[in-house]
Amino acid sequence: MRIVVLAGGIGGARFLLGARRLPAEVTAIVNTGDDVTLHGLHISPDLDSVMYTLGGAADPERGWGRAGETWAVGSELAAYGAEAPWFSLGDKDIATHLVRTRMLDAGYPLSAVTAALCARWEPGITILPMTDDRVETHAVVTDDEGRRAIHFQEWWVRYRGEIPTDRFVFTGAAEAAPGAGVVEAIAAADAIVIAPSNPVVSIAPILAVPGVRDAIVASRAPVVGVSPIIDGAPVRGMADKCLATLDTEVSAAAVAGLYGPSAEGGLLDGWLVDDSDARAAVEGLPILARPLWMTTPEETEAIIRDGLGLVGVRP
Ligand code: GDP
Ligand code: CA
């Protein structure tokens, strides 16, 4: 059995810890819209969150970066007043970015670089960047400096999302192609699962890469999604602020509405909501309510099994 998961960073990584327990070949298609170049280093926050988490190397409290991290290089950069002092860079993490940047500079695509990094971490699943091309999520904001577009990382890390925001744009997405293996994995899937990742800045950029959405719609595999919104609020992160830019209500049903039921040309054949949202309804979409807290990998596996069951797949 082959299962494809669309995933962002921290929520996606936690979800994949559960997916990895299934008797299935799991392929994660991961958002790269958060990627940013700082100090000449190519940083892929969501790919690294997934790789470190599944490799058992992530910091459990922070949720991102490496456990047992030290910060010597970052404080030295700050002492020079080097660019982007608001972005923390751990020493161990920097080694990952150095290897990635060197390989990219040598001409390897990001997919090959990711595979090379994963050879060390043995995540137990296949991790594919959504694209090998450069795509960056930018937030269109208005502040004292006027109306401008800033990188998603600056929006989130520097301003904590607390800045008037019109919308997000996925710069470069229209000219991008699906990453190596992405379309093939979707075509070969027995089931496609949308992780409870941020729908606006983690899943939407993946779907904005031309060819990805079409491949999902064309696939014979059923698609089931898991709500990142529980009882009208994101479990963690800024999905509420992101949904506001789309004039979308912060609810489990509204997120399902963004993906759309397959019966109406959308993606979903099934949608999981938390028990607290048991009354959520979307016309033409089978919905199952059950607890959606990813407390342990075992519990997350049970969530995914129920989701697969809803669309008639038994791993
Ligand atoms: P990021 O790229 O690091 O921001 O991570 P993701 O986009 O993959 O995941 C962030 C989303 O995960 C947030 O919108 C949260 O609401 C959601 N999330 C985090 N923990 C849980 C959980 O235990 N259950 C559910 N249903 N959603 C969660
Ligand atoms: Ca992210």
Ligand 1, atom 2: closest residue by C-alpha: 9
What per-residue confidence (pLDDT) applies to 83?
A: 82
- Nearest Cα residue to 198 out of 150, 167, 239: 239
Which residue out of 137, 168, 197 has the highest number of ligand 1 atoms within 8 Å of its CB and is therefore the one to mutate?
Answer: 197
Q: Determine the length of the chain.
A: 315
Helix (H) or strand (E) holding 76: helix 72-79
What per-residue confidence (pLDDT) applies to 180?
A: 98
What's the CA-to-centroid distance between 247 and ligand 1, angstroms?
Answer: 20
What per-residue confidence (pLDDT) applies to 305?
A: 98
Contact yes or no for 140/42 (Cβ under 8 A): no
Burial-class residue 68 by CB neighbours within 10 Å (0-12, 13-18, 19+). Answer: exposed
What's the CA-to-centroid distance between 2 and ligand 1, angstroms?
Answer: 23
Per-residue pLDDT of the chain (315 residues; tens, 9 = 90+): 999 999 999 999 999 999 999 999 999 999 999 999 999 999 999 999 999 999 999 998 888 899 999 999 999 999 999 988 899 999 999 999 999 999 999 999 999 999 999 999 999 999 999 999 999 999 999 988 899 999 999 999 999 999 999 999 999 999 999 999 999 999 999 999 999 999 999 999 999 999 999 999 999 999 999 999 999 988 988 899 899 899 899 999 999 999 999 999 999 999 999 999 999 999 999 999 999 999 999 999 999 999 999 999 998
Backbone angles phi, psi at 72, to 5 degrees: -65, -45
What per-residue confidence (pLDDT) applies to 158?
A: 92
What's the CA-to-centroid distance between 89 and ligand 1, angstroms?
Answer: 22
Domains of the chain, CATH where assigned: 2-132+175-310 (3.40.50.10680)
Give residues (CB < 6 A) around ligand 1: 7-12, 14, 46, 49, 196-198, 202, 226-228, 230, 234-237, 239, 292-294
What's the CA-to-centroid distance between 9 and ligand 1, angstroms?
Answer: 8
- Nearest Cα residue to 288 out of 297, 280, 296: 280
